[in-house]
Chains A and B, each alone.
Chain A
Amino acid sequence: MTISSPEQKPVRRGRASESAILFTISGLPFAIASSAVHEIRSADSLSGSATEIGQSVVPKVKHLVHRGNRSYFVVNGCAHFGLKAARPTLVLILRDSPVAILVDKIERMADISAPHALPLAFEGEERRWYRGLSYTDDVIVPVVNPAGFLTRHELRALEEALQASHAEMPAELSGTVAR
C-alpha cells in the first residue's frame, strides 16, 4: 500500500455528455437533464394559479399549479430530499410527469458527463431519487431522476385526495399514475 499522488484523471474523460440544469436546494447541488424540464418559473409568479391540496398522505406536496391546460403537483425539494428548510424561489415544471419542483436557485446550464451509477454503498431513498452521479467543474453532482419525485402510490394518493376534496381536476391528470 502506498500513499497515492493527487488525482490527475478527471472522471469525465471519455464519457458522453448531456445538457443539464444545475440547481441548488438548501445549499446542496443537483442536476437534472434539460430535456426533462418543460418550464422554469419563479415561485411567486405561480402562486396565483396554485390550489392548496388538503391532504397529509404526501406531506411534501401542498399545492397544485395549473399551466396552460395541464396541472402539476408541487413537490417541495427540501422536504423531498430531507433537507433543512429553505426559501425556494423557483419552480421546475417537469415535461413528462404532472410534477413541479420547488428549488432554491438555478446555478446554470451545463454539459455534464453521463452519470456514473450510484455506488452500491448508497442504499436509501437516494437510489430512487437519482439516475447517478456526474462530474462537472470539479464537483460531483447527483443527477435527479425525474420519475423519482412521486411514486405511483403517492400520485394515486394525491389524485384521490383531490377528488375527495372536490377540487377542480383537469382531465389530463386522470391516469397519470400509469407512467
Chain B
Amino acid sequence: MTAAAAIEKSSFVLLQLGRRRFGLSAAIVTELAPPVKLHVFAHQTPMVAGVIVRRGRVIPVYDVTPVLVGKKLPERRFYLVASRNIEGQEELSAIPVDGECELVNAELFPTPEDSPKYVAGVLAIGEETIEILDFEKLVRTSTASPAPRPVELGPFA
C-alpha cells in the first residue's frame, strides 16, 4: 500500500445530523452538494426519499435520518454524495446532512459489540466517539412502515 493509499484509507468525512456526528470513508465520498431541490415521485424502494440532479446526473437520496437520529429530514439540507457499487456498476447516491462536513485523518477502532450493523467502526476525536458508517449496510437498513393502501377506488366504484 502506498502512503497516499494508506492516508486515504484512514480518511473520513464527518457529517452532522441533528446533534450527532457520523463519519463515512472519504474514499467513497465525491462531493458535498448544496441544498438543491429534492424531486419526489412514486416508488416502492425503502429509504429512498427522492432524487437530486447534480452535474447532469440523477442521484437517488436516501433518507437515513430516521435510522441515525430518529427524526425526519431537515428542512434545509446539504447532500453528501457517495458512490455505491450496485450489481457491479458504480452509482452515486446521496444522504441529507445538516451542514458542512469535515475531512479528518484518524485511526479507526473496532465496532463495539452492541453497535448497529451499519457501524463499521468508531473514531475517537477528543472526548467524542464518532461512529463510522458502512454506507451499503446503512442504506439497506429499513425503518419505513408500508405505505397506506388506498381504499377508495374512484368514480367507477
Contacts and interface: CB of A to CB of B under 8 A. Distances in A.
A46 B156 CA distance: 9
Interface in A29-51: 29-30, 43-44, 46-47, 50
Contacts of B155: 43-44, 47, 87-89, 102
A116 interface: yes
A82 interface: yes
Interface string B119-157: 000000000000000000001000000011111111111
A63 B153 CA distance: 10
B42 A79 contact: no
A74 B157 CA distance: 11
B73 interface: no
B73 to A, nearest CB: 17
Given A1-B32, A87-B155, A122-B48, A9 B86 contact: no
Nearest to B148: A84
Given A3-B100, A5-B34, A62-B156, A84 B45 contact: no
A4 B100 CA distance: 11
A119 B51 contact: yes
A139 interface: yes
B29 interface: yes
Nearest to A123: B45
A168 interface: no
B153 A79 contact: yes
A122 B31 contact: no
17 contacts: A1-B30, A1-B31, A1-B101, A1-B103, A3-B78, A4-B34, A13-B56, A43-B156, A62-B153, A74-B156, A82-B42, A119-B51, A121-B84, A126-B42, A133-B41, A133-B58, A135-B53
Given A1-B103, A62-B156, A121-B45, 20 more contacts: A2-B31, A4-B54, A7-B53, A10-B56, A11-B57, A28-B42, A47-B155, A76-B154, A82-B44, A83-B147, A119-B60, A119-B91, A119-B93, A120-B87, A120-B89, A120-B91, A121-B60, A125-B44, A126-B43, A138-B37
Interface of B: 13, 26, 29-34, 36-37, 39-45, 48, 51, 53-60, 62, 78, 84, 86-87, 89, 91, 93, 100-101, 103, 139, 147-157
Closest 10 CB pairs of A and B: A124-B44, A85-B150, A140-B39, A121-B60, A85-B152, A81-B42, A126-B43, A120-B86, A43-B155, A63-B156
